[in-house]
Amino acid sequence: MKWIFGDFMSKNTLYDKVWSAHTVGILPTGQTQIFVGRHLMHEVTSPQAFEMLRDRKLSSPNPKLATAVADHVVPTIDRSRPFKDSQAEIMTAELEKNVKEFNLNYFALNSDKQGVCHVTFPEQGIIWPGQLAVCGDSHTCTYGAFGALAFGIGTTQVSHVLATQTMAMEKLKVRRINITGKIGKGVTAKDVALHIIRTLKVNGGVGYAYEFGGEVVDAMSMDERMTLCNLAVEGGARSGYVNPDNTTFNYLKGKPSAPKKDFDRAVNYWASVASASDAEYDDVVEINVSKLEPIITWGVNPEQGITVSEKVPALDSFSGKAKEEALDAFNYMGITGNQSLIGTKVDVVFIGSCTNGRLSDLMQAAEIIKGKKVKVRTLVVAGSAEVKMGAEKLGFDKIFKDAGCEWRLPGCSMCLAMNPDKLIGNQRSASTSNRNFKGRQGSPTGRTHLVSPYTAAATAVEGMFADPRKYL
Amino acid sequence: MAEFVIKENIISSVSGTAIPKPANDQNTDDIIPARFMKEITFANMGKYAYCDERFKDGKEIPMHPFNDKKFRGGSILVAGVNYGCGSSREHAPQALYRYGVRAIIAESFAEIFAGNCASLGIVGVTATAKEIASLIEFINNNPSEKIVVDLVEKKVKYKSIEAPIEILEGRRRAFLNGTWDALTILQQNKEGIKKVKETLPYLRFE
């Protein structure tokens, strides 16, 4: 890792350009009033916002700049209504009522557009370079893959955006992260992202937007860029982005909600928002990934990760508060310092989520699982109806089902377990999701290890953590 | 410039006893696990605050600072680095607010959490690791002593000690002039909003 510090402020970056284009004015507090060009919503963080509007007798002046979908609480097997879980039913029905009352765009539950918000919205072509996009969800930073300035907001802020199309904010600093080298076989965008987080730490990005660039990012597909940007927030950065290029424009061409008649004009505009060649950053860091191997997290936050060749750090390698925290993580996870994770048995494998629920992720998992049997419960959850249809067209559903996996309907599923898909007791899971926090997968004592789709698939096949590269 | 002061919302200081919660990187899943967010109002969130840490097999863990009798009624939470990281769920600050927390002093905050606190009127300020350590020691030894977070002087005061605190200037002003509930001031500049809407090229792409 190489650091370049400057005492300059960012200038002429995509962040600066998009921020400036959306600035309405400076509020009496000194904060910036910022215009929101795309407002995305889901069922969990929006009901109270609509209620706040009703309380104040406000309407939404720009309803068509907002699109909503239900994903967090929806069951991934039986979608018949009412849902068996009455809270999930009430919450979903509330969203359906609200989008109707406020006249917002809605991807209905059983339509071919339903899915995990951060999978389906980009896939439908709603997210474009240069947009300022918000959602009451921290993984909104996923849309940065398109060169949009995108970040999560709270429910009160959702009500502000609904009522005024604006919100009060302070500008972030911009850190350029150059990802250099040549990525090895079996190493994915997920591993790169987890490596960045363990290098810069989970709080390294506090106060920053991350601009990801360099030869590795240039060569990434949109799916890979989405995985990378999705995890920016796990490194503390509220927003992360990649400058738009031909990969971005080619992806958007022909997508249902992408510009049609004005496509060429749009491309010109999109290209113009990329960071200029003389852009200045608050700081720059280079991370070389040539020697990177697949990563498995061992602890209770995403920076606590090791490669398949490394051992869990010894307790004595930590000191002070970090030592207490490592010990706490060891106890919770039921592991010890100096052990290897390869060969450690797991109970459940989860393949899906807004991090790794796209077609290319399922393709990687299918590549390893094809023709084999899984040894543990393995949930494969397509990120959207479109991903599911695409996967079925390619026969992945058959590969997964023949291997003994569960092939489920699109939703957030076991990433955060606000639905029936949960760990039980202290089950250990290998998960392609984004958070290994305590209790994250639905059991207060459940143990989550974050991995790539390749590693998840190899682990499913062996019933214990495995290096996926021997299968590739 | 127009005056948008809403008098009753002015927050110039928060005083009360404190709750020590010094770990780093406490995430919003710790503060409120997702399974408690399936309610469509925030009304019950207070009782779920730190639920999985506070209870084991349905029994209260008496040592947890949110259970410990000596810290009951505390309104100032003292935390470590990157407090409130993870999910954007406003349920987390709502849970703390409804539990009784009115100010948080931390080494640093996750961005989204900090914004959520500000829009609820929870005062979030930062202090150095050294100041936090002294404060935690003081609270543990003097749990019934009052702590004052003073936004006018930008200081945390306890006993005879006055330590410096930091807060984004815009947020400090929003508390001091009573405009932290930003909706009112956001609604004022209708012309400015219209102008940006008309100048953003992408809103007109077909």
SS3 B93: helix
Counting as low any pLDDT under 50, the low residues of chain A are none
pLDDT digits (tens, 9 = 90+) for A386-412: 999 999 999 999 999 999 999 999 999
Contacting residues for A3 by C-beta, under 8 A, at least 6 apart: A283, A284, A285
CA of A85: which chain B residue's CA is closest? B38
Interface of B with A in 76-135 (CB under 8 A): 80-82, 85-90, 93, 108-112, 115-116, 119-120
B10 in contact with A, Cβ within 8 Å = no
| B6 found inside a domain | no
Which residue range(s) make up the domain with B59? 11-179
A115 in contact with B, Cβ within 8 Å = no
Q: How far apart are CA A194 and CA A258, in angstroms?
A: 31
Would residue A210 be called left, alpha or beta, if left means φ above 0 and alpha means ψ between -120 and 50 degrees?
beta
pLDDT digits (tens, 9 = 90+) for A210-254: 999 999 999 999 999 999 999 999 999 999 999 999 999 999 999
- Give yes or no for residue B3 having a pLDDT over 50: no
Region B114-136: mean pLDDT is 97
Region B180-188: mean pLDDT is 92
- Give yes or no for residue B132 having a pLDDT over 80: yes
Q: Would you call A418 and B40 a contact, using CB atoms and an 8 Å cutoff?
A: no
Q: Please check whether residue A132 is in contact with residue A37, taking contact to mean a CB–CB distance below 8 angstroms.
A: yes
Q: Report percent pLDDT > 70 for chain B.
A: 96
B196 in contact with A, Cβ within 8 Å = yes
| H-state helical runs in A151-241 | 155-164, 189-200, 215-218, 222-230
> Angle A86-102/A47-55 helices, nearest 10 degrees?
50
SS3 A449: strand
Torsions phi, psi for A208 (to 5 deg):
-120, 155
pLDDT digits (tens, 9 = 90+) for B26-64: 999 999 999 999 999 999 999 999 999 999 888 999 999
SS3 A125: coil
Beta strands in A18-148 (DSSP E): 23-26, 32-35, 38-42, 66-69, 105-107, 132-135
Of the pLDDT bands very low, low, confident and very high (cuts 50, 70, 90), residue B8 is low
> How many domains would you assign to chain B?
1
A57 in contact with B, Cβ within 8 Å = no
| B163 found inside a domain | yes
| B193 found inside a domain | no
Question: What pLDDT, on a 0 to 100 scale, did the predictor assign at position B7?
Answer: 52
How close does chain B come to A81, measured CA to CA in Å? 17
A63 in contact with B, Cβ within 8 Å = no
How close does chain B come to A391, measured CA to CA in Å? 29
Q: Would you call B185 and A437 a contact, using CB atoms and an 8 Å cutoff?
A: no
Under DSSP, the state recorded for A383 is S
Report chain A residues whose CB lies below 8 A from the CB of B61. Answer: none
A45 in contact with B, Cβ within 8 Å = yes
Cα–Cα separations (whole angstroms), residue B60 to A144, A276, B46, B53, B64:
43, 57, 16, 9, 9
Of the pLDDT bands very low, low, confident and very high (cuts 50, 70, 90), residue B2 is very low
Question: What pLDDT, on a 0 to 100 scale, did the predictor assign at position A138?
Answer: 97
Q: Would you call B196 and A23 a contact, using CB atoms and an 8 Å cutoff?
A: yes
Q: How far apart are CA A103 and CA A65, in angstroms?
A: 11
Interface confidence, given as ipTM, is 0.94
* Residue that has been written with the tokens 């009160």 in this structure: A156
Please report the domains of chain A, with CATH numbers, ordered by start residue: 7-283 (3.30.499.10), 295-471 (3.30.499.10)
Question: What pLDDT, on a 0 to 100 scale, did the predictor assign at position A6?
Answer: 52
- First-residue to last-residue Cα distance in chain B: 38
B170 in contact with A, Cβ within 8 Å = yes
Q: Would you call B112 and A27 a contact, using CB atoms and an 8 Å cutoff?
A: no
| B194 found inside a domain | no
Question: What pLDDT, on a 0 to 100 scale, did the predictor assign at position B5?
Answer: 43
- Give yes or no for residue B85 having a pLDDT over 70: yes
The CATH code of the domain that includes B23 is: 3.20.19.10
Question: What pLDDT, on a 0 to 100 scale, did the predictor assign at position B6?
Answer: 45
| B3 found inside a domain | no
